[in-house]
Amino acid sequence: MGYEDSSTTRAAAGMRILQEEFTAPRARTADGAPRARAVHAPPPCDLGLLDHLQQSRRELIDTTRVMLAGHPTPQPLPPAPADEGIYQWMVESTAHLDAGRRRAQDAIVYRQGLEHALRAGDTLVIRREACPGCGCWSLMWRQQIQRAVCIQRECRDDIGRASQWELRQLAHHHIANRPQRAAK
């Protein structure tokens, strides 16, 4: 069984890239030369990145358990994979649930895909999201406030600022507006 859709594939690929970045040895400088031994050695790993990966994984496991609570499952829940296979584990574990429940899951997966891309430095991923306020492709990522801001002059919030959107809101907007899958 493959991944359910492209956003699941993207989230999984994003997690893999970040895991590789986290585990890659940092033995060389930017020009490829072996790094001289530093007097004050840099931290051996990016703890912020580790934290991000662990939080993402924890959210997927917790969400899956909550979704399955009170629903008879065809088989016991297998252990969650430690790598990006956790997305497929989630999709397969909840495939028997109704579409409404799975939409909430899809929004989480979609948001994590955006988070992974931004963590890897790909802010252009936000340009491919339609603004929930005006429907235009007019969003820019603002790192300081951790939100996408619309550059359309007419697109304002209640107090007259340029409209701002959390990743969670962009994900819900995307999932709510995507074409519905054909009923089986």
Kindly tell me which residue out of 86, 107, 150, 167 binds Zn ion, with binding defined by CB under 5 A: 150
Identify the bridge partners of residue 140 per DSSP, sorted by sequence position: 149
Give whichever of 11 and 131 is closer to Zn ion, judged by the CB atom.
131
Q: What share of the chain is helix, strand, coil (3-state, %, to 5)?
A: 45, 10, 45
Q: Is position 131 an interface residue for Zn ion (rule: CB under 5 A)? A: yes
Nearest distance from residue 103's CB to Zn ion, in Å?
Answer: 23
Distance CA 95, CA 89 (A): 10
Nearer to Zn ion, 63 or 164 (CB): 164
User: Binding residue for Zn ion (CB under 5 A) from 9, 88, 152, 169?
Assistant: 152
Q: Which stretch binds Zn ion (CB under 5 A): 5-13, 82-90, 94-102, 126-134?
A: 126-134
- Binding of Zn ion by 15 (CB under 5 A): no
Q: Does 133 contact Zn ion by CB under 5 A? A: yes
Q: Which residues pair with 165 in a beta bridge?
A: 148
For the residues of 125-164, what is the DSSP string, one character each?
GGGGSPPTTT-SS-EEEETTTTEEEE--TT-B-TTSSBPE
Residues in contact with Zn ion by the rule CB under 5 A: 131, 133-134, 150, 152, 155
